[in-house]
Amino acid sequence: MLDHSSRQPSPPNIPMDALSEVLQDFRLSGVIYGRCELRHPWSIAFPEQQLLRFHFVSQGPCWLHTEAEGWQALNEGDLVLLPQGIAHRLASAPDVEGDCLKSCQITKVGSNVCEVVREGDGATSTLFCGSMALNAQALDPLIALMPPIIWGCDVAGNDPIIGPLLTAMTAEASQPQMGSATVLSRMADLLVARLIRCWVNCSGAATTGWLAAIRDPHLGRVLAAIHRDPGHNWTLESLAGVAGQSRSIFAQRFSAVLGEGAARYITRLRMQLARELLGQGHISVAEVAERLGYESEASFSRAFKRTTKVSPGVVRRSKSGRTDINFGF
């Protein structure tokens, strides 16, 4: 199907829940959490980045500002998810100007959690916030379809677990004990994954596009398999086997729902991942080619330039792939 490696491992075993398979690396994509105790007046700006961000309000005043929606009040127990990491600001009141971050005391608690404290005499706001670097090979097609802001309270009625999770996070954040930061981060992982799944389940019944494909009992298994091992030597026959369909029926169905053939989809996915890997700077072009299953650096470079219009060496030297994680703290 494609000009890549001759290695032919057996296709992975694919679970029936294709969305869970695509989300299976969710916690491995780089997460930074912050537990914040901020005294009014305070305001923190979050620049636009390729990060999925969330903010959970345990207590106290909190307002969210985005360019599209202006100021919106967040109540105690509210959680907002910003899938594309749009620029936004949190503040104790809409009239608070500037950025108070430099006046905050920031303490690192473990490898990926920090405590952010702003002293003062005003009302205390207790927040738990997180930033997740997106794994392009697994989440980009889904994230691109999601709205800029998802309110947890809007989807909580469609998932009986979200409400109790929010209650438990409120209790854990408001009365921290030994290990609270770790407990909060684990609950946040589960909460964000369930919010994403809940949004998918409630986002309508489209008959074409990525969401329609991931819901399809045949195509969903294929997408999960491809995202699980994009470097596998996929052929039309092996993909049809995963789908449980004939080659002709599978090829026709894949193109009708996704709007492109399976070969093109796999190539785009590999090049997205290649750009991400090359942008890290410390992985050679040859290593990326091998990881993605290409039989040589030359064949990979040809495919990369044909798809992206630039050479892999240019991307690697510029380190323009993945955006560095910057929680804002």
Residue boundaries of the structural domains of the chain? 28-201, 208-318
So what CATH class is 208-318? mainly alpha
- Most confident residue range from 96-100, 200-204, 280-284: 96-100
How buried is residue 207: exposed, middle or buried, by Cβ count under 10 Å (0-12/13-18/19+)?
A: exposed
For 224-275, what is each residue's pLDDT tens digit?
Answer: 889 888 999 999 999 999 999 999 999 999 999 999 999 999 998 899 889 8
For 184-226, what is each residue's pLDDT tens digit?
Answer: 878 887 888 788 878 877 776 667 888 888 888 899 999 988 9
What is the spatial distance between Cα 64 and Cα 175, in angstroms, rounded to a whole number?
A: 24
Identity of residue 262? A
Fold annotation for 28-201: Jelly Rolls (2.60.120)
- H helices within 292-327, ranges in order? 297-308, 312-318
Q: Are 197 and 150 in contact (CB under 8 A)?
A: no
- pLDDT class of 160 with cuts at 50, 70, 90: confident
Burial code (b: 16+ CB inside 10 Å, e: under 16) for 264-301 equals: ebbbebbbbbbbbbbbeeebebeebbbbbbbeebeebb
For 173-186, what is each residue's pLDDT tens digit?
Answer: 777 677 777 788 78
pTM as predicted: 0.70
Q: What is the DSSP letter of 148?
A: S
